[in-house]
Structure 1
Amino acid sequence: MALWRIRATVDDRPGYLSVLTASLALRSVNILAVQVHTTEGGAVDDFLVDAPDTMSELELQTAIARGRGRDAFVIRAEAQGLADQPTRALTLAGRLVHDPEALGEALVALLDAAEVRWRPAGTVVLHGYDEQHMTLIDPAGGTYEVMRPAPAFTPAEYARAQALVEVSAAILRRGAEQTTLLLPDGAELLVREATGDDLEGVRRLHAQSPSEARLRRLVEPATGVTLLATAQDKVVAMATLRTEGDLGEASLLVQDAWQRRGIGTALLRRLLDWAERADLEAVVAHVSADNVAMLRTLRRLGVTGPGRRDGALLSLTLPVGGRPGVPRETPATSG
């Protein structure tokens, strides 16, 4: 048996797809996978089939025509074609996570394209597609022109390509948000947003290991953001901002050996920038009343007034975007 890829258009009417599949079955052609692309000209059916070794391309074309298929495209397929389209797209998205520069190669693989050309920013190229060309905006700048003589591109393929471009854009945005923090003593830290891959690093930062559920909430809060400062891939500090409505609640943890070096202030400033972009009204920090170093840090960031005290815990309101730091009621801290 031999693998073939078949693409043909049929009228988008009840029963027409079954006529085509029956015509292939009569010739001992086994359909391994099928995708349906809706177009203005009808339903474009994309098959991966296993056909007898003796069957020729012409015989497959004849079977398609007898099954009421038109505009047929038939080509031999490789074993990697056995992966279904969602799996293929997810694999390529995963590749971009590790290599954002591979977008052009990923588009070629996704679309089985013959060629991809990159044009620099400033070149007048309208994004969109026709039968043989697809133009996509490169999130890093410029545009990609993807070419495939046959079969014709479909709206579904254009949507998939756009989705892959958006994955690349999201990865580049996250990378752009990474900054290098230069400490007064010359040490350098990388400051970035936390991800699910940071669970173990954050666990080691805590003197008492949090539960798995709480750890995940710390690293990726449902609403808000967590920033990490890392030295040689080791997490040395973290700052979390959890939001509820227009109010944010900040927490900070710096490894003992890295305290009193400006890291907490830098992380909290970035949290306040994030709060301003999110249009929060205020950010509240809860701190032990005898934590002199933290209180000094918060005062530097604009906290005024005595705050609100509950036993040994002091709640102080940080100003956001020039708004006054007025103490207000806050949601209870959760684990």
Structure 2
Amino acid sequence: MLWRVRTTLVDRPGILAEIALACGRAEVNILALQVFPTSPRVTDELVVSAPTGWTDVMVAQLFEAAGGSDVSATRVSDASVADATTRYLRGVHEVLEEERDIASVLHELLETEPPDVADYAGHDVMVLNRRSGSELRISRAVPFTEVERARAQALVSLVGDAGADVPLIVPSNRDAVPLLRVAGLTDIEAVSAMHERCSIDTLYERYQVPLKMPMTTRMARRLVVPDHGTALVVQVGTDVVGHGVLELIDETWTFQLIVEDAWQRRGLGTRLMRLAASHAKDAGAARLTFVTAGSNDRLLRAVGRAGFVARVERHDGNVHITVPLREVRSIAATGSG
């Protein structure tokens, strides 16, 4: 039977030896230990294995008799023995890669359940600040240490744009000059914000499915750093107002783009197409296929304005517009990207 014990001790040499000796005499085995400095005293957290039949009160009394104060004892599972750093790194992975809710991950990391601890005196509340300005509250019967608060805040700050954080919804500044360039990881938040500003119709023309908002960090990261290609963006000031993904799919180079509603009909889609064509040619492509929903006539017009000779085909309700790249200049020749 495993217990997590939180106790405050006088910060002096030998105090842990006294705790270990008391546990050894009671046949309570110490399996893990964390030290949370709280000068001039210290808070220690131990995971211990106690004999069958022991209760939280019995475990707490053992540590109190050995010199501990403010002792709490909580039943835990085998997962509590795992290294704390490893658990938090795994938590980051679960939020970013498995799209788990960050609040759920923190509840597991901080072990907010069960609340039935010895000498229960009410919940402690941890208030964490998201990058969006909103707050995330986590409560637990056992008081949080400053180290735990710092760990949790660092996790929220690192992955706070995933899931629940709301991207910017203010329209972009239309006076600045658009810049076309290759996207990178620093564009994750700006690309998410652009999608939040787009209408349902614009999103459907790009993805051919109703897109769930707000966008997760995992999806935004794939949009700016695709597995088999290059992402391009149109930047205006600090905002991204257009985006496209150039990818090699089943030996066919494809390009799918989106321009937010307020910036449509200004030639940005045509410029993105030309830049994508140059990148595709540099990658060895002989032709490039633009893919869109069947009702998107704007893409057809943009292809014409770009000066491409196109072959138009329909596949499963989508339009595939394939253009040869013989006359397209490379990136070095155009000076773009």
TM (normalized to structure 1)? 0.53
Aligned to 2:245: 229
Return closer, same or farther for 1:89/1:193 CA change in 2, 3 Å cut-off.
Answer: closer
Aligned counterparts of 2:70 and 2:136: Cα–Cα separation in 1: 27
Aligned counterparts of 2:86 and 2:223: Cα–Cα separation in 1: 23
Aligned counterparts of 1:12 and 1:101: Cα–Cα separation in 2: 39
Would you say 1:161 and 2:144 are equivalent positions?
Answer: no
- Structure 2, unaligned runs of 5 or more: 115-122, 168-187, 209-218, 232-242, 257-277, 291-298, 307-324
Would you say 1:33 and 2:32 are equivalent positions?
Answer: yes
Return closer, same or farther for 1:294/1:79 CA change in 2, 3 Å cut-off.
Answer: same
Aligned counterparts of 1:158 and 1:113: Cα–Cα separation in 2: 13
Aligned counterparts of 2:27 and 2:84: Cα–Cα separation in 1: 24
Pairing of 1:322-333 with structure 2 (within 5 A): none
Residue correspondences, number: 228
Whether the 8 Å CA contact 1:114–1:147 is kept in 2: the answer is no
Would you say 1:188 and 2:206 are equivalent positions?
Answer: yes
Aligned counterparts of 2:105 and 2:28: Cα–Cα separation in 1: 31
Aligned counterparts of 2:8 and 2:80: Cα–Cα separation in 1: 20
Aligned counterparts of 2:19 and 2:3: Cα–Cα separation in 1: 15
Aligned to 1:139: 131
Aligned to 2:279: 252
Aligned counterparts of 2:90 and 2:48: Cα–Cα separation in 1: 22
Whether the 8 Å CA contact 1:237–1:253 is kept in 2: the answer is no
Would you say 1:87 and 2:103 are equivalent positions?
Answer: no
Shift of 1:113: 2.5
Identity of aligned residues (%): 23
Which of the pair has the greater relative contact order for Cα pairs under 8 Å at 6+ separation?
A: 2
Pairing of 1:1-335 with structure 2 (within 5 A): 2-40=1-39, 42-98=41-97, 102-113=101-112, 132-149=124-141, 151-171=142-162, 174=188, 176-178=190-192, 188=206, 198-199=226-227, 201-202=228-229, 229=245, 236=254, 252-253=279-280, 255=285, 256-258=287-289, 292-294=327-329, 316=335
Question: Match for 2:145: what amino acid?
Answer: T
Whether the 8 Å CA contact 2:248–2:254 is kept in 1: the answer is no
CA displacement, residues 251-309 of structure 1 (integer Å, 9 cap, x when unaligned): 9336522379879xx9xxxxxxxxxxxxxxxxxxxxxxx985236xx7xxxxxxxxxxx
Question: Match for 1:73: what amino acid?
Answer: S
Question: Match for 1:142: what amino acid?
Answer: S
Whether the 8 Å CA contact 1:38–1:44 is kept in 2: the answer is yes
Whether the 8 Å CA contact 1:139–1:168 is kept in 2: the answer is no
Shift of 1:110: 2.0
Shift of 1:100: 5.1
- Structure 1, unaligned runs of 5 or more: 116-130, 206-217, 219-226, 239-250, 267-289, 299-312, 319-335
TM (normalized to structure 2)? 0.53
RMSD, aligned CA:
4.6
Shift of 1:101: 6.6
Return closer, same or farther for 1:187/1:66 CA change in 2, 3 Å cut-off.
Answer: closer
Aligned counterparts of 1:10 and 1:187: Cα–Cα separation in 2: 63
Whether the 8 Å CA contact 1:3–1:79 is kept in 2: the answer is yes
Shift of 1:196: 11
Question: Match for 1:55: what amino acid?
Answer: W
Aligned counterparts of 1:114 and 1:195: Cα–Cα separation in 2: 37
CA displacement, residues 197-235 of structure 1 (integer Å, 9 cap, x when unaligned): 844x24xx9xxxxxxxxxxxx9xxxxxxxx960579887
Shift of 1:155: 0.7
Whether the 8 Å CA contact 1:9–1:44 is kept in 2: the answer is yes
User: Which 4+ residue blocks in structure 1 deviate beyond 6 angstroms?
Assistant: 231-235, 259-263
Shift of 1:138: 3.1
Shift of 1:13: 2.0
SS in 1 for 2:33: strand
